Structure 1
Amino acid sequence: MTNDQDAAAVLKAVRDIVPRLRENGHKAEDARWIPDENVELLDKAGVFQLATPARFGGLDLPLADQFEILAEIARGCGSTGWVAMAWVSTAWLATQYPDKAQEEIFANPSVRISGGFSPTGTVERTEGGYNLNGTWRFNSGCRGAHWDLLGVTLEEPDGQHRELYVIVPMSELSIADDWHVSAAAATGSSSTTANDVFVPAHRVIDAGDALFGLTGDRSNTGATGRNYGLIGFVMTESVASYVGMARAAYELFVSKVGGKPIAYTPWEDQAEHPLTQLKVSLAANKIAAAEALVARWITLLQQRADAGEQPTVEEKATGRGQCGYAIQLAKEAVEELQSVSSGSAIMRNSPFQRFFRDIEGLALHGMMTPNSNLEVHGRVELGLDPNTYLL
């Protein structure tokens, strides 16, 4: 099959299971982890092969197709969408490792890889590789992952520190039961810890090289249309979760508002009230604007990847601003609808309240929070240095 046929097949399979993912939402939140059924349904649909290279039996779909599939998962369940995004986007980063590592990682084409990118661990050189120690918080999806990709620092003999990314089997790490939160509870974003874990040299790459696309000569890179750049790729895939949650909240609100009276008023049908109409229009247009912004950014990333190029610094900063604003718009769309929802919207058995809380909580993510991304974009617009290497 062609990429288009593969993408259409996976999208249809995911769309078919959206009702089941949504139905499992309450159970997932109570357990603070998505049900095994959700993982199995996504696996059967082919979701975990989206970024796996074709040479390992994966689908290797373009970013635009991956975005739409991940957004559809989040339309079913925000937490499940976030976990799927984490596994798929980190699988893409694994394609930047040497061939020997990729052969180990993608022995299962339907691989699930979590990540803790903040360099809160350390490594020391030892024979054949490195000795790993540290703890990584907010490790989304770690409870169901096969591998964990972790940020670490290495102290060189001259006292300088290098940031590296190591990848290790999840079975070699411990997972803390410390994920007790008011939003995105089912992502199971617990802390993982390594105690004297050996990491062979072929499973270690320089973080700076990965960020700037300098690991690209190893495989699945160059002008193959898949070397999107780390930050641009991860941010784009993340935005899919916010867009999917906003679509779900809109769908749920519109499906229930017709014929519903407004309590303590003479209005018998909320859909007839001008304020409801205004809020629905605002939400619809904010979602459409978010989709358009990220589509524009995806188009640029794909053009660069097809040419075997990285975006310029200015383009990367603009992309961060556009992704950040798309997240803000998606969040605001849900807030518009929540402001005209009735008291029943806060009931635990209402999926709407879960989408509202999840999008609010995930909008606080350090890399995704709109304010930080808009700052980077604004600096470049004003002719200033972006003041970050995370581009």
Structure 2
Amino acid sequence: MNASPEKITPETCALAASWANLSPLLVEIRARRSEFGRAQKVPEEIIEGFKRVGVYRAMVAKRFGGEERTPADFCRLIERISEADGSAGWVASFGDGARYLAALPDDTLCKVYANGPDVVLAGALFPLQPAKRTSDGFVVNGVWPFASGSPGADLIGVGITVEDDPTGELPRVAVMPAEKVTIRPNWDVIGLRGTGSHDVVVSDVIVPEEWTLIRGGPPTIDVPLYHYPSVAFAAQAHAIVGIGIARSALDEVVAMAGSRASITGAPVMAERGYIQLEIARAEAMLRSARSFFYEATEELWMEALKGAATLGTTTLMRLAATNAARQGAEVCRIVGGLAGTEALDTNSNLARAMCDSFVVAQHAALNEGTLQSAGRFLLQRAIQPGFP
């Protein structure tokens, strides 16, 4: 069973070509996904596969050899990867990092992409750590948790605070080569185990000011893609992983329902009334969340094409992202319950889907704060920009 077809545009046709190249990689990911969790990372050869199909150049400006894909195109790409494996989709979602990097000075961006557009950014923002300003830049020290994808990154970004920073309260991100960072392996969790979301440790690294950016700050490149708000985009790139995971789990239960009989002598799953009702409910839930997600994405993109996204539309996009993550987790819970003992094996896709989707929905960018902000907007009350 496949998701409902999208409107055919030149952009979706271009993405379809990428999907053709993606298929062999998805086969490999499905075959190897159990080992990602054991290794606590997505292996280097899969990262190289992401580069080949364009994950990391999708959001890069064309002047640097990138593709400037639309936000919806990128999310569809991440959705497909996430259907094969949640951890792989989560790591691939950090291809949105090019949108963050667009806030670096132009000369710095030329250095970032000197060898091509397939640059992998990872890192962690919070808690912000104090950095000392010197004539050479900032002396950065600290430990940052949840640095997803850091084992396969080229660049690492970490959140810092600087005394008397003229940028105000917006977080500053110090970007540095990955070899200057120590990864402390400690990602021992129940879901998204293959994302390599370890601690990163930085010790007395001097980061020139031109290698820092303001999270959510204005881009230095004036193209429509970079008018799309980066913080909202990061949240939705994470959220769509949950939709892909849920689609995989739901399809698996539908496939097994036609032949799986009960050891107690009950009819095959597909003949049981409660299974029929719950499958219908889960299908409607998933399609509704997905439709809202892409509808909100397109509305925000239309504003970005005109030059600036409004706070209200951005807030609704955040609502759609949070809803997608939570509904995806609920679908996985429903179908996992329907599958009975099939979902108990720790190596099964259903067990993995239930745990992975739960972790997606736990992300700070997809929490109740976004629901409250959306509620205030819908009730015509003032809302504040920023995180969450």
Instruction: Give SS of 2:131's match.
Output: strand
1:306 aligns with 2:305: yes
- Structure 1 runs of 4+ aligned residues shifted over 4 Å read 2-5
Residues 88-107 of structure 1: pairs in structure 2 closer than 5 A: 88-107=95-114
> What is the TM-score of this pair, normalised by structure 1?
0.91
- How far apart, in 1, do the equivalents of 2:222 and 2:276 lie? 48
- How far apart, in 1, do the equivalents of 2:162 and 2:246 lie? 41
| Number of the residue aligned with 2:236 | 236
- How far apart, in 2, do the equivalents of 1:14 and 1:255 lie? 23
1:10 aligns with 2:18: yes
Q: RMSD of aligned C-alpha atoms? A: 2.0
- How far apart, in 1, do the equivalents of 2:341 and 2:165 lie? 62
Contact 1:95 1:220 in 2 (8 A): no
Q: CA deviation at 1:388?
A: 5.7
1:252-300 CA distance string (max 9 Å, x none): 1112221211232x32311110111111111111110111111111111
Tell me which moved more, 127-136 or 137-146: 127-136
1:288-315 CA distance string (max 9 Å, x none): 011111111111121111111122x222
Q: CA deviation at 1:349?
A: 3.1
Contact 1:225 1:307 in 2 (8 A): no
Residues 7-86 of structure 1: pairs in structure 2 closer than 5 A: 7-86=15-94
Contact 1:154 1:163 in 2 (8 A): no
Q: CA deviation at 1:231?
A: 1.8
- How far apart, in 1, do the equivalents of 2:158 and 2:234 lie? 15
Q: CA deviation at 1:373?
A: 1.9
Residue in structure 2 matching 1:215, options 214, 218, 230: 218
| Number of the residue aligned with 2:350 | 352
| Number of the residue aligned with 1:376 | 373
Q: CA deviation at 1:119?
A: 4.2
Residues 146-165 of structure 1: pairs in structure 2 closer than 5 A: 146-156=154-164, 163-165=171-173
| Number of the residue aligned with 1:293 | 292
Letter in structure 2 aligned against 1:260: R
1:310-340 CA distance string (max 9 Å, x none): 22x2222222222211211111111111111
Q: CA deviation at 1:138?
A: 0.3
Q: CA 1:131–1:259 in 2, change beyond 3 Å: closer, same or farther?
A: same
Q: CA deviation at 1:4?
A: 4.7
Contact 1:279 1:336 in 2 (8 A): yes
Instruction: Name structure 2 gaps, 5 residues minimum.
Output: 1-9
- How far apart, in 1, do the equivalents of 2:124 and 2:374 lie? 25
1:26-62 CA distance string (max 9 Å, x none): 1111111112332232222222211121111112211
Residue in structure 2 matching 1:197, options 200, 205, 224: 205
Letter in structure 1 aligned against 2:375: G
- How far apart, in 2, do the equivalents of 1:110 and 1:148 lie? 15
- How far apart, in 1, do the equivalents of 2:282 and 2:28 lie? 25
Q: CA 1:220–1:252 in 2, change beyond 3 Å: closer, same or farther?
A: farther
Q: CA 1:166–1:157 in 2, change beyond 3 Å: closer, same or farther?
A: closer
- How far apart, in 2, do the equivalents of 1:163 and 1:45 lie? 32
Tell me which moved more, 335-344 or 378-387: 378-387
Instruction: Give SS of 1:33's match.
Output: coil
Instruction: Name structure 1 gaps, 5 residues minimum.
Output: none
Instruction: Give SS of 2:157's match.
Output: strand
Q: CA deviation at 1:89?
A: 1.2
Contact 1:147 1:167 in 2 (8 A): yes
- How far apart, in 2, do the equivalents of 1:25 and 1:162 lie? 37
Tell me which moved more, 42-51 or 149-158: 149-158
| Number of the residue aligned with 1:133 | 141
Q: CA 1:173–1:314 in 2, change beyond 3 Å: closer, same or farther?
A: same
Contact 1:156 1:162 in 2 (8 A): no
1:116-174 CA distance string (max 9 Å, x none): 1224322221113211111110000001000012211111299x876312211111111
Residues 320-359 of structure 1: pairs in structure 2 closer than 5 A: 320-359=318-357
Q: CA 1:387–1:56 in 2, change beyond 3 Å: closer, same or farther?
A: closer
Residues 161-172 of structure 1: pairs in structure 2 closer than 5 A: 163-172=171-180
Instruction: Give SS of 1:130's match.
Output: strand
| Number of the residue aligned with 2:187 | 179
Number of equivalent positions: 377
> What is the TM-score of this pair, normalised by structure 2?
0.92
- How far apart, in 2, do the equivalents of 1:157 and 1:251 lie? 51
- How far apart, in 2, do the equivalents of 1:148 and 1:124 lie? 19
Identity of aligned residues (%): 23
Q: CA deviation at 1:93?
A: 0.9
